[in-house]
Structure 1
């Protein structure tokens, strides 16, 4: 009897320190099984805070909500359709907080979660790693900015090029935009200048002919 009384405080101390996480198990239809200890709850949403929370109770709540996955952290119960990202899986020793409703089981830990398959599906996916997605988005954004700066004239991914036009009547050339068309503009202007010179020469010859006829008439 005396030995039994001595063991009681020891047992109470062990329970107060925490419970061991159940090792991950293969999922079974109709039965909740532990999937592992994770540092993130992923896409799971808080379903309920229960002062008597336990693995089985949380799994039952999530199963009733047609959720494939449940998670416990102390008195909190989370539900959802996907496990957290695989990269957030940690050692089982991190999940050492006794469940309020059943201290022999672990319900997560400080900043850690016990993830449970509710038994509705054997094939459940992991969520996408949020940090990897953010990095990919940042790289994609940087590439897009670089492309825009390099092109200098991109609007909604479409580049517009103006076609230069030349006017023979005033000997000038107009263009909507670009340095790349300078050689065409020069060629057009030169051609107009040459045409202008030819017209002036023809007019001068005509004037001389008229003056010659006038002089002959007077004589």
Structure 2
């Protein structure tokens, strides 16, 4: 009879403790301290389970186990403990009342929930800034891997002048070739100018010769011959 009474009292005490199991409200992370980040309906991608007997599961135990493997996030649930480097997606955040299953090692504290499935999430204190698993990291990695070409496309195309010829063609036309004379130009000319004949004594008659060839000039010559 005494054993029966003790069993009933123990059951009532267990139920009372279980009803007091509460999810700790979310707070800002604190360095080197475990802080609650809320109740979530799913695990983040890459969450790794911790091998431990269910009787040892509590928020403190899970936090220490995750610190041992340098994880920034500790997660408890009725199934055990998980470690990760990201929080679950923000869309998976649920009311704290859904995390109502008592931890086996510390019944006053909630370790997630069974129906519906829920997870108690903690920051281990290793890092203050931790991202949610919303796929942003994968997207940014994909974008940064696309690099523009080192040589712009415009530098590979020939430049075009206003008259429709390329820069190379214009240079070829405007550059004279030494030793080749165009019609009416000098062979050594580099600017295409027409050569000018030099004014020598044989080419241009002097002014005196012009005067002696006139009628007055002939009379002067006859006068000189008569008196000589």
TM-score (norm 2): 0.51
Question: Could you give the per-residue CA deviations for residues 1-43 of structure 1, whole angstroms, max 9, x where no partner exists?
Answer: xxxx999765432223461111111111111111100000112
The corresponding residue for 1:120 is 126
Provide the aligned C-alpha RMSD in A.
2.4
Among residues 33, 57, 81, which one is paired with 2:61 in the alignment? 57
Q: Figure out how many residues of one structure are paired with residues of the other and give that number.
A: 127
Runs of 4+ in 1 over 6 A off after TM superposition: 5-9
Is structure 2 residue 82 aligned with structure 1 residue 82? no
| Contact 1:71–1:114, Cα closer than 8 Å, also in 2 | yes
Is structure 2 residue 130 aligned with structure 1 residue 109? no
Partners in 1 of 2:135 and 2:17 — Cα distance? 34
Partners in 2 of 1:31 and 1:74 — Cα distance? 23
| Contact 2:29–2:123, Cα closer than 8 Å, also in 1 | yes
Between structure 1 and structure 2, the one with the greater Rg is 2
| Contact 2:99–2:113, Cα closer than 8 Å, also in 1 | yes
Partners in 2 of 1:18 and 1:108 — Cα distance? 14
The corresponding residue for 1:42 is 44
Name the one with the larger helix percent: 1
Partners in 1 of 2:20 and 2:44 — Cα distance? 24
Unaligned segments of structure 1, at least 5 residues? 134-219
TM-score (norm 1): 0.53
| Contact 1:45–1:78, Cα closer than 8 Å, also in 2 | yes
Unaligned segments of structure 2, at least 5 residues? 1-5, 140-228
